[in-house]
């Protein structure tokens, strides 16, 4: 009988069951199983079995069940980050000058991107161009209790570059919003100026939100820029590979 098994053996058996079934079904079988599913040992074993753990995470993950689910769910929540679908999924688009354009890497007077998986980028014009996405965290599977109690890290990254023959400006602003879209936390870069005759290298900018308090339901990501020479066409800042991830 299962109840007569040593706890260590039972944990190994339960660890072979899909995580969702552990929470929704196995946890309801009896008090012993509930305690095991709610405890750390089972989830530490599942993380180890699936390569989700290391020395650093073992020291820092206070709730192993949440750590497991966050690790398994980790993905880029920005849709169409590299312009493969034109401007689809990007809202509140401001098309200053000749507006946004999508180009193939490396582009005129440009450099290849550090990752071979990125093939395109967005480029701005001679007046400010901006675009934004609003991410619904609940729709992406990050439930309210998780965001309010665990407050997982929200990691934001973006890549920008200029043409080597033109100067440009770049900005990024990311906000954590409540149910009513009140701003609960905000990261806003300075206006970054890239001079004419620059090296055209791609630069990553990043920010991590943590300990932001309860109530976060949306993430609003906005970036943009322009050229500084006011040349007709698309000589402004280039952006690509934007990302927002929720991490343990």
Tokens of 199: 């090296």
Of the candidates 72, 99, 114, which is a domain's last residue? 72
**Residue 147 belongs to a domain with what CATH number?**
2.60.120.260
Pair (154, 225) in one structural domain: yes
CATH number at residue 61: 1.20.1280.50
**Mean pLDDT of the residues in the chain:** 91
The reply to whether 105 and 153 lie within a common domain is yes
Average pLDDT over residues 193-217: 97
- 102 and 221 share one domain: yes
Residue 93: Cβ within 10 Å count: 13
pTM summary value: 0.85
- Per-residue pLDDT of 121-171, as tens digits, reads 999 999 999 999 999 999 998 989 889 988 999 999 999 999 999 999 999
Whether 130 and 221 share a structural domain: yes
Considering the domain boundaries, does residue 96 fall inside one? yes
Torsion-angle region of residue 77: left (phi > 0), alpha (psi -120 to 50) or beta?
A: alpha
Pair 228, 113 in one domain: yes
Q: Residues 61, 103: one domain?
A: no
Counting DSSP H helices and E strands in the chain, the numbers are 7, 11
Q: Structure tokens of 26?
A: 């196995």
Among 72, 104, 119, the domain-final residue is 72
Same domain, 175 and 216: yes
Whether residue 18 lies inside any domain: the answer is yes
| One domain for residues 221 and 113 | yes
Same domain for 242 and 132: yes
pLDDT tier at 1 (50, 70, 90 boundaries)? low
Residue 86 domain-assigned?
A: no
In a domain, 116, yes or no: yes
pLDDT in tens, 157-174: 999 999 999 999 999 999
Strand order in 153-161's β-sheet? 101-104, 120-123, 238-247, 153-161, 203-209
Query: What is the count of structural domains for the chain?
Result: 2
Domain boundary among 13, 40, 72: 72
- What is the chain's alpha carbon radius of gyration, rounded to the nearest angstrom? 23
Summarize the chain as % helix, strand, coil (round to 5): 25, 30, 45
My answer on whether 105 and 163 are in the same domain is: yes
DSSP string covering 45-106, please? HHHHHTT---HHHHHH-S-HHHHHHHHHH-----SSTTSTTTTTT-EEEEE-TT--EEEESS
Domain of residue 235 covers 91-247
């Amino acid at each position: 009988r299962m109840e007569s098994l040593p706890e260590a053996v039972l944990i190994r058996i339960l660890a072979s069951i899909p995580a969702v079934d552990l929470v929704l079904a196995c946890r309801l079988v009896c008090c012993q199983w509930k305690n095991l599913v709610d405890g750390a040992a089972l989830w530490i074993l599942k993380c180890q079995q699936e390569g989700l753990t290391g020395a650093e995470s073992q020291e820092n993950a206070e709730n192993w069940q949440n750590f497991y689910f966050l690790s398994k769910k980790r993905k880029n929540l920005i849709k169409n980050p590299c312009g493969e679908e034109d401007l689809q999924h990007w809202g509140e688009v401001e098309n200053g000058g000749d507006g946004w354009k999508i180009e193939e890497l490396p582009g005129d007077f440009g450099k290849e991107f550090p990752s071979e998986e990125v093939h395109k980028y967005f480029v701005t014009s001679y007046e400010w161009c901006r675009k934004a996405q609003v991410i619904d965290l609940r729709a992406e599977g990050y439930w309210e209790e998780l965001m309010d109690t665990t407050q997982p890290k929200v990691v934001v990254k973006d890549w920008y570059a200029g043409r080597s023959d033109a100067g440009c400006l770049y900005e990024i602003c990311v906000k954590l919003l409540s149910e009513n879209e009140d701003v609960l936390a905000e990261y806003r870069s300075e206006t970054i100026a890239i001079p004419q005759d620059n090296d055209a290298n791609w630069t990553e900018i990043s920010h991590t939100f943590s300990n932001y308090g309860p109530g976060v339901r949306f993430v609003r990501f906005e970036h943009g820029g322009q050229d500084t020479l006011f040349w007709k066409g698309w000589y402004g800042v280039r952006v690509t590979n934007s990302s927002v991830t929720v991490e343990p």
